Amino acid sequence: MSLGGVELIEVAAGAYSLGEGPLWHEGMRRLVWTDIDAGRVHAMGVMDESPLTLYEGAKVGGMTLQRDGALLLFRERDVARLDADGTVRSLFDVDDPQTERFNDVLALENGSVLAGMVGKDETSGGLFRVGVDGSMRLLFRNTKYPNGMAVTRDGRTLYYTCSTRGVIVRFDLSGLLASEPESAWDLAEVVWRCTRGTPDGLTMDAEGRLWSASWGGGRVVWLSPDGEELGEVGLRERNVTSCCFAGDGLGMLAITTAGGGVYACDVGVRGVRGIRGVAEHRSAILG
C-alpha cells in the first residue's frame, strides 16, 4: 500500500546518471550523495539550497563518515579521504582482480566498514570487511551486485541486499565475521524477496524497520524486520537506487535515483506514524 499523507519533493532536480549512497552529514548539515558514473560527489541542505559538487574524479561507489568528520570515499581501486577543504588523499589501494569497483558500504560501531564490491561476472563480486588499519578481508563472494546494508541497534544482526538474487537476507553479524568465505552464505536467512524490480540501497529506521529502494520498481518499500511489506513510497523514476534518513531529527527520507533527481519526503512528526531514522556509525579507517 502507498504511504498516505507523504508528500514527495524533488530537492535536487536533474538527471544524475547513477545517484547513489546518500548519507546525512550532521556536521555539515547536508545530504551527501555520489553520482557514480559521473565521478562526482554532491551535497546540499535538505530542501533549502542548490547542490554543491564536493568532488570530481574516480568513480565513488559508496561513502562513510569518519569520526573526525571527513568523508571516506570507496572508489574504483582505492579508498580515499575527502577533507572539508576539498583535499583528497588516497589511503590505500585495492588489489582484487575479480571485481570492478566498490558499491554500497556500511560503517560498524567499532569503526570498521563492510564494503561490497561489484564483480566482473555473476559470481565474482562480494562483501569485504575493511579493518581500522586498512586491511581487507573477504567475507563471501557468489554475487555480482552486493548492495544495501543495515545493522540493528544492538549490533547483532546484519541485513544485506543481494541484487543478483533479488533478496534481502540477514546474518548473525558475529557469526558472519568469524566464518570462512566458502561457508558464509550458508548463514544467510532470506527475509524478503523482491517481486517488482530489484532490491538496491537499504536503510533502517529507529524501530528497526527496513526501507529498500527498488531498481526498476519505481518505489521504496517499507518492511518489517521479518520482511512483511508495510507500505511503499512511489516515484516517477523507475530506477530508484538508495535512501537514507536526513535532516533535523532524521525525520526526512532522502531518495536517490538513476537518470533522475534526488527526492525527500517527511516521514517524521508530520509524516507517517512519527517515523525517524538513527544516526549511522562513523568509520575510523587509518584515522
pLDDT on residue 14: 81
Task: Kindly list the catalytic residues.
Answer: 200
pLDDT on residue 5: 61
pLDDT on residue 184: 98
Query: Given the C-alpha cell 525525520, which residue does it identify?
Result: 251
Cα 261 versus chain centre, distance: 17
Task: Tell me the CA end-to-end span of the chain in Å, nearest whole number.
Answer: 45
Helix/strand/coil for 186 = helix
Spans in the chain with pLDDT lower than 70:
1-2, 4-5, 47-48, 268-273
CA distance 190 to 196: 17
Question: Between vectors from CA 252 to CA 216 and to CA 281, what angle results, nearest 5°?
Answer: 90
Domains in the chain, start-ordered, CATH in brackets?
A: 8-266 (2.120.10.30)
pLDDT on residue 46: 79
Query: Given the C-alpha cell 560503517, which residue does it identify?
Result: 107
pTM: 0.96
pLDDT on residue 4: 60
- Cβ proximity of 221 and 180 under 8 Å: no
User: Which three cell numbers mark 38?
Assistant: 559521473
CA distance 44 to 146: 27
